[in-house]
Amino acid sequence: MRKPLNSITFMAIFFFIFAATAYAGDLDLFKDLSGTLNIAGGTAHIKCETEAIKRIMRAYPDVNITIAGGGSGVGIKQVCEGLVDIGNTGRAPTPEEISRCNLKVYKFAVDGIGVVVNPKLNTDNISKENLKKVFAGDITNWKTLGGSQGSINVYTRDAESGTRKVFWSKGLEKIKIIDKANFVPSNAAMKTAIANDPQGMGYISLGVADSSVKLLAIDGVSPSTENVKSGRYEIARGLYINTRGEPSPLAKAFISYMLSPEGQALVKKHGFLPVK
Amino acid sequence: MIAKHNKERAAKGALSLALLIAGSISAFIFFFLLYFSLPILSSGLIGEFLTRGWDPDRGVLGILPMIVGTVYIAGLAVIWVTPIGIGLAAFIQLFAPKPLGRILRWTVEFMTGIPTVVYGFAALFFLVPAMRRIFNYGTGLSVLTASVMLALLVLPTVTLIAQDGLATVPSNQVLAAFSLGASRMETFLHVVLPGAWRGLISAVVLGVGRAVGDTLIALMLAGNAVALPDSLLDSARTLTAHIALVSAADYESLSFKAIFVCGLVLFIFAGSNIVFLRLVEKLKK
């Protein structure tokens, strides 16, 4: 009777120590820190960073971190004006932005941008030529793409979106997107729009896409993390954290955490490629 | 006596100060918008700006589609809301049994407190798919969808002000009409309506202002396309939604400066709205 109890106790202690070290590990970066850290910008970052923030704030209640969207343009603008401590961007800041705002740039993940449609459509692939034609407004019916009769509703993002900038140059090779396209203000709004529109087509951060929408392969190459990693799927970009000048201790801890094994595991969990 | 005099002077002073602050803030906003619009206003681009489409990738900055979008969406909303709002006000004031009227008035007052985003979000999941199915065209994000929700948003404003207008008709006139054997409808058409039309116009004009000024309904439900809408089922963008979508642009860019011109257009519209209201009130005499 004694032996199993002992081994259970032993195991419990073992797991407790194991779990405690695993839990504390990378969060130790925030030890002795307190105050507020404000983050805004890119909307692809939000889900992943929100989970990191929850873990941090649960372990260190004196640390208060807020996160807002707005898009990459807002991220650059607000960090440059000193309105937030960290500006998220879904594209690399331009050399002009870096010098004007004295930006320090940290890349913490790689994200693909996928062509996205409603799961009800029985299309799984689109050729790059056809993709360009759809966004240019030259192909307007799903029938042309091998689907059933019905007009294609094109969704796009505002000009300051990092997702749009990268998709426009790498996916659409800078063609003019049709004026009739619908505009949505974030990656999450894109997901909602496409999930609700059986005839919609748009583009989205792979980290934001879930089972409510369907990602299309382009020329037979599916936008999987493996294909993004190998470079076979070309429409990808880094996800960046930017600070104006040297980051504050709290911002520094946040950046180090996102780049730590635990942060990078989160990056992976949310459908991005880790950078380490 | 002197103490009372001082109190009055203090109250007058405080009110004048409040007036001064409110007035100077409005003036400040106007000159602020004007100042930041100058690069576009003074470059001789204003003509093109008001008559062309929006394509910043190619250096084309024009807000005609947004002006048209605003006129369509807000105009249509006012067309929906005017008969419904005034009808509801008349019903509450004249036709409904007292308890029912009180419940309706309370409901409409409650509606003023519902945040715009709640209407927008609910419509995104119910009205948008319904519109798409009914008309079997486009995305469901359209001028029509946005105008319907906008009408709902503006309804309390129009109803409450219209009812206040109807209430200004002296009750002895209404009672006199009743005692002459007029029905409620006859009383409404021949006694209340002629006496209260100025109040009703105020209700509609303020409704127009509210409809033009709202951002979120159009941003969430109109689709925000920069093309000129061909039909009510097409996607369109209002000036306010345009400001919201472009405000992320770089401070130095011409796109960003264009926002201030949009703001100026909206400000001038709001101003002329108020002038129109004052003119209507002057007609009283």
Residues B112-139 have pLDDT tens digits of 999 999 999 999 999 999 999 999 888 8
The pLDDT, as a whole number, for residue B40 is: 83
pLDDT band at B70 (very low <50, low <70, confident <90, very high): very high
* Interatomic CA distance for residues A181 and B236, integer angstroms: 10
Tell me the average pLDDT across A40-45. Answer: 92
Residue corresponding to tokens 């997107």:
A177
Task: Convert the pLDDT of each residue in A83-122 to its tens digit.
Answer: 999 999 999 999 999 999 999 999 999 999 999 999 998 8
Residue B281 confidence (pLDDT) above 70:
yes
CB-based contact (8 Å) between B139 and chain A?
yes
- Enter the tokens of residue A189: 């709004």
The pLDDT, as a whole number, for residue A11 is: 53
Q: Bridge-partner residues for A198, per DSSP? A: none
- pTM of the full structure: 0.82
Percent of chain B with pLDDT over 90: 65
Chain A residue whose CA is closest to B216: A185
Is the ipTM reported for this complex over the cut 0.85?
no
pLDDT band at A72 (very low <50, low <70, confident <90, very high): very high
- From the candidates B235, B240, B256, which should be mutated to test the interface with A, based on the most A CB atoms within 10 A? B235
Residue B30 confidence (pLDDT) above 70:
yes
CB-based contact (8 Å) between A148 and chain B?
no
- Enter the tokens of residue A216: 């299309």
Task: Convert the pLDDT of each residue in A153-187 to its tens digit.
Answer: 999 998 889 999 999 999 999 999 999 999 998 99
Out of A70, A176, A200, the one facing B248 most closely (by C-beta) is: A70
If you average pLDDT over every residue of chain A, what do you get?
89
| Residues B139, A178: C-beta atoms closer than 8 Å | no
Say which range, A221-225, B48-52, B84-88, has the weakest mean pLDDT.
Answer: B48-52
Nearest to B156 by CA among B98, B197, B214: B214
Tell me the average pLDDT across B83-110. Answer: 94
Nearest to B238 by CA among B61, B3, B63: B63
Q: Which amino acid is at B74?
A: A
pLDDT band at B106 (very low <50, low <70, confident <90, very high): very high
The pLDDT, as a whole number, for residue B59 is: 80
* Interatomic CA distance for residues B89 and B172, integer angstroms: 20
If you average pLDDT over every residue of chain B, what do you get?
90
Instruction: Give domain limits for chain A.
Output: 10-110+238-274, 112-236
CB-based contact (8 Å) between B225 and chain A?
yes
Contacts A174 to B, Cβ<8 Å: 57
pLDDT band at B2 (very low <50, low <70, confident <90, very high): low
| Residues A176, B141: C-beta atoms closer than 8 Å | no
The pLDDT, as a whole number, for residue A49 is: 95
CB-based contact (8 Å) between A93 and chain B?
no
Task: Convert the pLDDT of each residue in B152-182 to its tens digit.
Answer: 999 999 999 999 999 999 989 989 998 999 8
The pLDDT, as a whole number, for residue A7 is: 57
CB A223 within 8 A of CB A111: no
CATH tag for B47-284 (out of 1.10.1200.10, 3.40.50.1000, 3.30.2130.10, 1.10.3720.10) = 1.10.3720.10
Say which CATH class A112-236 falls into: alpha beta
Tell me the average pLDDT across A53-74. Answer: 92
CATH tag for A10-110+238-274 (out of 3.20.20.70, 3.40.190.10, 3.40.1390.20, 3.10.620.30) = 3.40.190.10
CB A186 within 8 A of CB A43: yes
Chain A residue whose CA is closest to B225: A182
- From the candidates B245, B251, B252, which should be mutated to test the interface with A, based on the most A CB atoms within 10 A? B245
Q: Which 8-state DSSP code applies to residue A27?
A: G
The pLDDT, as a whole number, for residue B4 is: 67
The pLDDT, as a whole number, for residue A99 is: 94
CB-based contact (8 Å) between B238 and chain A?
no
CB-based contact (8 Å) between B138 and chain A?
yes
CB B62 within 8 A of CB B49: yes
- From the candidates A80, A168, A180, A192, which should be mutated to test the interface with B, based on the most B CB atoms within 10 A? A180
Q: Count the helices and strands in chain B (H runs, E runs).
A: 13, 2
The pLDDT, as a whole number, for residue A3 is: 47
Residue A17 confidence (pLDDT) above 70:
no
CB A228 within 8 A of CB A110: yes
